[in-house]
Structure 1
Amino acid sequence: MPMTRNPLATLAALRRRAVSRAVHRGARWVRDAGAVTAARPGPYRFGAIGEGTRLAYPQGTVFGEQWIRLGEHCVIGEQVTLTAGMMPGLDLGPDPVLLLGNGVVLGRGSHVVASRRVVFGDDVFCGPYVYVTSDNHSYDDVTQPVGRQWPRTAPVEIGSGSWLGAGAVILPGARLGRNVVVAAGAVVRGEVPDHAVVAGAPARIVRRWEPGTGWQPPLRTPAPEPVPEGVTPEQLRALASPAVPGPERPGTLDVPADR
C-alpha cells in the first residue's frame, strides 16, 4: 500500500512556503520603495538626478549630494558609495564635484570618492566593486602614520563609452579616453588614449585600436640577448643603463613614481 503523508508535516510545509513567499514579496516591496529616483529622492538632495536614473536599495554611503550630478538613465547598483568632499558638511563651492553622464552603470559595491572633480562620460559601464577616487594617502612624513597625513588629490576623467571591469581601481589624476577597456583588477593612473585596453597593476596598454590599421596585437617584450663572454657585471649594467634615455617604450602607460 502506498505510504500516506503525515498531514501535520504537510501543513507545516505549506506554512513555510507561504512564509517564504511573504518574505520575498516584502523584500521586493522594500527594494522598490527604498530605490532613489528623481521622483522619489528619499533623504538625498542631489545637485541633479536625471530622468530614468535609479539608485538601488540599499544605498551605500552618500554625502555631499549638493555637489553630485547624475545624468539620465543611470543604473546605480546596491551598496554603491557616492561622496563629494572628504567628509559630510563641507562647503565645496558653487561648482559640481562628481558628475555622471547619461547612461552610466555602477555595479554593486562600487565606490566613487571625490574631493576634486571626477567626471564620468556618457555610457560608462562599471562592473561590481569598482573604485574611483580623486584622493590618495600621502606618505612623505616618515614620522607620522600614513592615514594621518594630508592626502594627495587630483581630478579624474573617464571617457564616454568606457568599460571598467570588476574590481578595477582608478587613482587620482587618471584620464581615460573614449571607449577604453580596463581589465578586472587593474590599477590605473596617468593617461590612457582612446580605444585602448589596459590591464595589470600598475595598468599597461595591452592592445590598442589605430585609425587605418585597426586593432593592434598585444606588444611583447623581446627576449634578452645572451651576454657575451668576458663582459663584467659592471659593463653589463652600463650597457643596460645608457646615459641618455631612449624614447618611451610603446605600449606602456606612463606612471609617475611619486603618486
Structure 2
Amino acid sequence: MAMLTREAIETLGFASVGENVQLSDRASFYGASRIALGNNVRIDDFCVLSAGVGGISIGQHVHIAVYSSLIGAGKITLSDFCNISSRVAIYSSNDDYSGITMTNPTVPSEYTGVTHADVFLGKHVIVGCGSVILPGVKLKDGVAVGALSLINRSCGEFGIYAGNPARRIKERSRDLLELEQRFTTSKTK
C-alpha cells in the first residue's frame, strides 16, 4: 500500500489535515473541502469518503481499513481512537425502499424520498468487518460492533453489539480508558 506524500495530501483540498496522516493513493475522497482529518489518521486502500453538506470529521488516532466507505449528506463523525475494520459501510443518507418514491441519485430529488441524518461514533468505538451503520445512529463511547452487524439504532456506551439488526450482547471493559490516559501522558513527556 503506497501512501500519499504530505504535499499530495495538501493538494486534495481537505478542510483540515493534522500531523502524521497516512492516506492510501488508492483511496477516493469526494467533497474533500468538507472532510477534516485529525492527527495520526490512517485510511487504507479502496476506501471511499464522500462528504455531503454535513461533512466528515475524523478525530485523532483513527484507522479506516480497506474497502470501507463513509457516504451521505448528513454529518459523519469518527471520534478519537475509532477503528473501522474492512468493508464497513457508514451511511448518513438512505433511499426510501418502500416503492412510494423512486430511488438513486440519477433521479431528481422531487421524485425520491432520501432521508439524511447525522452519524456519530464516540471515542474508542470499534466496528467489525462487513458491518453497516445507517443514518441517524449514535454509537456512544466504547461501543464495539461485531462483524457483519447491521446498526440501525443508537448504541449505549461500552456495550458490545452484534447481529442483524444488532443488539447489545454484553458489556465491554473500560480498561482501555486507563491505557488512553497512560498513552496520552507518555506523549507529553
Q: Which residue of 2 aligns with 1:181?
A: 144
Taking structure 1 as reference, are residues 188 and 40 closer, same or farther at Cα in structure 2, changes over 3 Å only?
A: same
1:114 deviates by 3.0
8 A Cα contact 1:124 1:159, kept in partner = yes
In structure 2, list runs of 5 or more residues that go unmatched.
175-189
- CA-based RMSD: 2.0
Contact kept, 8 Å, 1:37 with 1:53, in 2: the verdict is no
What do residues 181-234 of structure 1 show as CA deviations (whole Å, max 9, x unaligned)? 1000101022111100000111111112599xxxxxxxxxxxxxxxxxxxxxxx
2:108 corresponds to 1:150: no
Structure 1 gaps of 5+ residues are 1-27, 86-91, 212-259
Shift of 1:139: 3.2
Residue 127 (structure 2) aligns with: 164
How far apart, CA to CA, are the structure 1 residues paired with 2:5 and 2:17?
Answer: 7
Any idea what SS the aligned residue of 1:40 has?
helix
8 Å CA contact 2:102, 2:113 repeated in 1: no
Equivalent position of 1:139 in the other structure: 97
Higher relative contact order (CA 8 A, sep 6+): 2
Query: Structure 1 residue 105 and structure 2 residue 72: aligned?
Result: no
In structure 2, the CA distance between the partners of 1:166 and 1:210, relative to structure 1 (3 Å rule), is closer
Which amino acid in structure 1 is aligned with residue 130 of structure 2? G
Q: CA 1:181/1:37 → structure 2, altered by over 3 Å: closer, same or farther? A: farther
2:34 to 51, 67, 78: 67
TM-score (norm 2): 0.82
Which of 37, 40, 45 is 1:78 aligned to?
A: 45
**Structure with higher strand content:** 2
Q: How many residues align?
A: 168
3-state SS in 2 of match to 1:157:
strand
Distance in structure 1 (CA, Å) of the matches to 2:116 and 2:14: 23
Question: 2:14 and 2:172 mapped to 1: Cα distance?
Answer: 38
- Deviation of 1:140 after TM superposition, in Å, equals 4.7
Q: Among the aligned pairs, what percent are the same residue?
A: 24
- TM-score (normalised: structure 1): 0.60
Could you list the structure 1 runs, at least 4 aligned residues long, displaced by more than 4 angstroms after superposition.
none
In the other structure, the counterpart of 1:4 is none
Q: CA deviation at 1:43?
A: 4.6
Residues 210 and 166 from structure 1, CA distance in 2 versus in 1: closer, same or farther, beyond 3 angstroms?
closer
Query: Structure 1 residues 209, 185: closer, same or farther in 2, change over 3 A?
Result: closer
> C-alpha distance in 1, partners of 2:5/2:114?
33
Which residue of 77, 88, 97 corresponds with 1:119? 77
Choose 1 or 2 for highest CA Rg.
1
SS of the residue corresponding to residue 9 of structure 2 reads coil
